[in-house]
Structure 1
């Protein structure tokens, strides 16, 4: 392993990890979650720990915080903080350090925040647990923190519950909680993975600004080298529980020494500036034609003056020919997922038409539309939530076709063929979803969608939560399947780099409307809309100066 020498001057080091080994329970695929890992987090710097799922990144962070589950334990090594070894400290002592000396921002703020407590109460709880301040001063401090992390109308936000906030707003609340006691060290575990590019850019800028202003040391966990290029001072690369490379960000990004690091960097999707080579479609008639589609969400009461009206999809029109992929991109709340659900009739539209193979399905009842469902299939964002944990993969794949009249033996045969087609072995048929990795579960979701030989696939953020290497595999798989079957695709994503890899045409949505549509070369290299230029400029790790000047400075 080629690695940079570890810092020798202890006064320059905020946190030191030495030969850390965390053991897994017997029967797992490997003995150790983390094995002999050593690194230093220097004061007032940002250290990025990067690697795929299962590389040991989050386990390392949880070991530092003393938050490892009971099934795994630190078997050897030291974690030195302020002259003390955190390994073996009592739970009371660790609790005293959490939040006050070292804080953590978790990956999924919705599951990390208490749904029954307001935002303000949760920030105050951090201070109250350490007996800091009075109720009045804690409230004042909570509102100041909401202002500091850039949340709008902090007085109102103080009284909101987490489910009423967007993903970016919830992540800002998590940052406010982590900063409540002004810790010396901040650990951020994949805080931007599921966020759209502009929100991601805002969160990265926020963390960087706070880190510089307060002189904090930050350990930032990610699987995206684009993020590393944006904020890192130094980098540790982990693979299967081991540290395979470490050094300055410039050194690791520009001249990586380890094959695994080079492979991760190569897997990062990039704006190609080239249009995809189109399939030779036998038919030119549209598979799907959408005209003036409208969906408005209404909540609250008009009588009491609390009614809220949100135009989720507002006059959207487009068409899609056989064997082509239309990418739908935009920020959270732009209407992308609502559009996808309208197309598959999981939502009823208010007005407009959805012509599928020439037939308007928008006004069809569920009973009338049921016979068309096999032809329009969806790949969901979260493959674990969309797969029944109590059913085997074989049952998940065959239940739908059997319900639509396919003989069970034929369904089983097709399911096994498709599992092989998406890169899973025949033994997957009899296993359960929890026995697979995230990438493998997404392959199962793709196989399920292909069981009916659909004419149209709607992929809703199908790769957004996957590692870059797994993401690249899934994108290659979808491209191959489309070229073999001629299926048309609507590819919904917030990652513009991914869209440039797989889409023939891209529609940019903003506040329920398509503000620009065209081939990737135009959308990414010569965007006409100010909003599109802002999206392109916000992509982490891309060099705006390589694009036209008006793109770099929207």
Structure 2
């Protein structure tokens, strides 16, 4: 359904996109980033643009902002912004609109912010570019904006550099910069994708509150239907550069018409609140037993008064039986990833025991542990960064087993079988990582971990960066592999919906400690800890009926 089917007068339309076509360079897998798309953003409303990677969402947003790279060109259609046609508009005219009429919150604030400039200087620069005010008035305005987006101690925050801030704080700074010129239209490109559920809830609430208070129009790009349920007035669904569905949030969520929309909604993980059917294994006793594990980070110098001590893992204890999955959930800084690195001996613990198959590996030297390493494997968060870009998939999969004494010919046969197990064609063995999508690269990472026939898999945020449909496929794959091989898993995630799908037990971590440990039915339906209740209440679009969101405003 095109936006034109809505009876809306021009005065009520903040942004109108008609028949927009954006062409890609020759040699790409398709000719157009977006083709003949049409939709409207009404004044004072939030329009969610949803779709998977490659659907054209971000290209559409960058086209509206006039931020397309040179090799991508608009070859058809019209974009009307507050009554002005911007297709074909010159760079100077576009620059005058950017920030003043339309602003953008980018997906990754760390790469969008200048690491060499203070937060205050970057907000000041936005206003200075439009010739606004004096240095004193701009500073006052910047502090006022930092206060408005809920940052603690705004005068101090004004002087901070981006690397000193948390992910949630950096995203708030991006919002402050976007609001500096009081734009009438705000474009938010996946602003909550990499954030914890509580931080995500805060940012969504902040954007919604600002939008209502200032009567702004917001184009919110996301791949999470939970976010759509929280904030959207209307929804545009995109697939491979085409708008396949357009309607009110209620229409699209409750009565989706297009098969692609139905598939996307079906792939969204939901809190099950039911316990997994346990896997029947012959093994007795725990594969892994952790007792009072401790890790503290120290940096700086005591002599110069710059010593910083951060307790990452504090007195952590748990057991993991054969063929079972323990989910480890919590916010950034809770100690989840540090725990994963300790379990795989990528980092040395300060004290405590890690009993793997009844042997304490915490005290082993690297040389002593090396023969055991193949029995404990890790699936990393970013498959592109963890795969050697100069090696073929065949070499990536076989180099470890060959180094541990496996015959090269047998290793290649094993690699082909493993690629088949994770749903990839055997022809992938001769290709390079960059030739695969994110979901396919994650499958390769899983195949590499399984090459050693491990007893324990540690998956660190293995699906957090993937689209919901790819995420669902990877979760099904891990579940099938576990049932076929009997491997035990420690599954680290900040998405409680994902944890409820795949985990037998869930450990909730806060400030390095496990504050609650139990089956999904307890964690999600009858949480004992106040912190667990806050996490569950913050999940977008997924609150139990008797819970209300407890939006925390602490150091996030």
TM-score for both structures, normalised by structure 2: 0.97
Name the residue aligned to 1:416.
416
Residue number in structure 1 paired with 2:270: 270
Q: Could you tell me how far 1:355 is from its partner in structure 2?
A: 0.8
Q: 1:3 to 1:422 in 2, by over 3 A?
A: farther
CA drift of 1:306 comes to 3.3
Structure 2 match to 1:405: 405
Alignment partner, residue 204 of structure 1? 204
SS in 2 for 1:15: strand
- Aligned-pair RMSD on alpha carbons? 1.5
**Deviation per residue, 1:138-169 (Å, 9 max, x gap):** 22222222111111222222222222221111
1:29 aligned counterpart, secondary structure? coil
Q: Is the contact between residue 287 and residue 455 of structure 1 (CA under 8 Å) also seen in structure 2?
A: yes
How is 1:114-263 mapped onto 2 (pairs within 5 angstroms)? 114-263=114-263
Alignment of 1:465-476 (within 5 A): 465-476=465-476
Matched residue, 2:341: 341
Where do 1:287-436 residues align within 5 Å? 287-436=287-436
Q: Which shifted more, 351-360 or 421-430?
A: 421-430
Structure 2 CA distance, aligned partners of 1:4 and 1:448?
50
Residues 15-62 of structure 1: CA deviation (Å, up to 9, x unaligned): 100000111122222221101110001111100000111111111101
> For the residues of structure 1 that align with 2:550 and 2:83, how far apart are their CA atoms?
47
2:105·2:175 contact (CA, 8 Å) conserved in 1? yes
Cα displacement string for residues 157-193 of structure 1 (whole angstroms, at most 9, x for unaligned residues): 2222222221111111111111111111110011111
Alignment-derived partner of residue 94 in structure 1: 94
Q: Secondary structure at the match of 2:340?
A: helix
Distance in 2 between residues matched to 1:11 and 1:388, nearest whole Å: 54
Paired with 2:131 and 2:276, the residues of 1 have a C-alpha distance of 59
How far apart, in 2, do the equivalents of 1:242 and 1:261 lie?
12
8 Å CA contact retained: 1:4, 1:247: no
Q: Is the 8 A contact 2:142 2:180 kept in 1?
A: yes
Q: State whether residues 20 and 79 of structure 1, in contact with CA within 8 Å, keep that contact through their aligned partners in structure 2.
A: yes
Which residue does the alignment assign to 1:40? 40
Does structure 2 retain, via aligned residues, the 8 Å contact 1:13–1:42?
yes
- Distance (whole Å) between structure 2 residues aligned to residue 355 and residue 136 of structure 1: 61
Q: Deviations over 1:371-414 (max 9, x none)?
A: 11111111111111111222221221112222222222111111
2:59 alignment partner in structure 1? 59
Residue-by-residue CA offset, 1:408-446 (whole Å, 9 max, x unaligned): 211111111111211111221111111111111111111
**Equivalent pair of 1:2/1:258 in contact (CA under 8 Å):** no
Q: Out of 320-329 and 296-305, give the one that drifted further.
A: 296-305
- Residues 55-109 of structure 1, C-alpha deviations (whole Å, 9 max, x = no match): 1111110111111122211110001012221111112221221111111111111
- 3-state SS of 1:333 partner: coil
In structure 1, distance between residues paired with 2:365 and 2:157: 40
Q: Which runs of 5+ in 1 are unaligned?
A: none
Aligned partners of 2:219 and 2:346: how far apart in 1? 41
Take 2:464 and 2:53, find their aligned partners in 1: how far apart are those partners?
Answer: 14
1:488 and 2:502 matched: no
Please state how far the C-alpha of 1:4 moved relative to its aligned partner. Answer: 7.7
Q: Secondary structure at the match of 1:156?
A: helix
What are the residue-to-residue correspondences of 1:9-20 with 2, within 5 Å?
9-20=9-20
Tell me the residue number matched to 2:554.
Answer: none
Query: Can you give the 5+ residue segments of structure 2 that lack an aligned partner in the other structure?
Result: 552-556
What SS is found at the alignment partner of 1:441? Answer: helix
Return the alpha-carbon distance in structure 1 between the equivalents of residues 440 and 332 of structure 2. 26
Q: Give the aligned partner of residue 27 of structure 1.
A: 27
Give the number of equivalent residue pairs. Answer: 551
Aligned-pair distance for 1:3?
A: 7.2
Asked whether the 8 Å contact 2:292–2:351 carries over to 1, the reply is: yes
Tell me which residue corresponds to 2:497.
497
**1:459 alignment partner, SS class:** strand
* Aligned 8 A contact 2:15 2:80 in 1: yes
| Deviation larger for 145-154 or 228-237 | 145-154
**Structure 1 residue 308: Cα displacement:** 2.4
3-state SS of paired residue (1:472): helix
Secondary structure of the 2:298 match is strand
Q: Give the distance between the partners of 1:529 and 1:134, measured in 2 at CA.
A: 50
Separation in 2, partners of 1:448, 1:327: 21
2-structure distance, mates of 1:52, 1:382: 18
Moved more, 3-12 or 131-140: 3-12
2:443 is matched with which residue? 443
SS of corresponding position for 1:287: strand
Q: CA, structure 1 residues 346+307, in 2 after alignment: closer, same or farther (shift >3 Å)?
A: same
Q: Does 1:527 align with 2:530?
A: no
Q: Report Cα offsets for 1:459-515 as digits up to 9, x if no partner.
A: 000001111111000000000010011100000000000000000000000111000
Residue pair 1:103, 1:185 contacting (<8 A) in 2 also: yes
Q: Check whether the contact 1:402–1:408 (CA below 8 A) recurs between aligned residues.
A: yes
- The alpha carbon displacement at 1:551 in A equals 7.3
Decide whether aligned partners of structure 1 residues 104 and 3 sit closer, same or farther in structure 2, where only a CA change above 3 A counts.
closer
Distance 1:553 1:333, change over 3 A: closer
Query: C-alpha displacement at 1:275, in angstroms?
Result: 0.5
Whether the 8 Å contact between 1:4 and 1:246 is mirrored in structure 2 is no
**CA drift at 1:342:** 0.9
